[in-house]
Structure 1
Amino acid sequence: MKKTLLVLVLNTLLLFVTSPVVSAEIPSGPKKRFKSEVQEMTIIMDLSSRQAEQIMELKIELYKKNQQARKQFSDNSPELSSAHKENFQDYRKSVSKIINKKQLETLWGNENI
């Protein structure tokens, strides 16, 4: 029951976070995927609504940065790969600031903690 209520609250929250203002220019496919990922993270890691909202924003930011890199560099180029890697490292650092150590271990295991 508690998890069901949590999922319902999270769904409501994520509807706000994925509003056109926050996620402008993000296609519906990635938005749905991000929403699903954050819902799963919320259940597994016991995220607060604020943490879930912040992670959703970070996922959208990562998507936008990667799309910008795709415009800048050719497919399968070392530059594109490097940009994606750097963007993901920035994402991980930001997520690490949002969640506690126990949640971090649940998400990424003991690596880079």
Structure 2
Amino acid sequence: MITTQAAAPDTLPGMPPVEDPNSYWTAAATAAIRQLAATGRTFDSTDVRALVPGDPTHPNVPGLVFARLHKSGLIEVAGYAKSGRRERRGGATTLWRGTRRSREAGEVR
């Protein structure tokens, strides 16, 4: 009987997995959100994109970064606004702010 080992997506059998192409963008966006959260001001994904060079390989990546930091208790929803990004065509965007804990620390960890 011949058995085959399933390869991870974007790899060949016997080859190491390819690094996640979003790992740099995700790390940079996380750092940018931490910086913005410590200010106490509201911010949105446009503010984060202004601080992070390049774009993620998938449009859902920014939302996943925000969701992770929200779930960890470092940012909270401050409201909603009309997006100024052309690609969003005036759709709603979430406004965020650092939680009290992140503002008191002066830096989100």
The normalised TM-score by structure 1 is 0.30
Higher relative contact order (CA 8 A, sep 6+): 2
**Greater Cα radius of gyration, structure 1 or 2:** 2
The normalised TM-score by structure 2 is 0.30
Q: Which has the higher strand share?
A: 2
Q: Which has the higher helix share?
A: 1
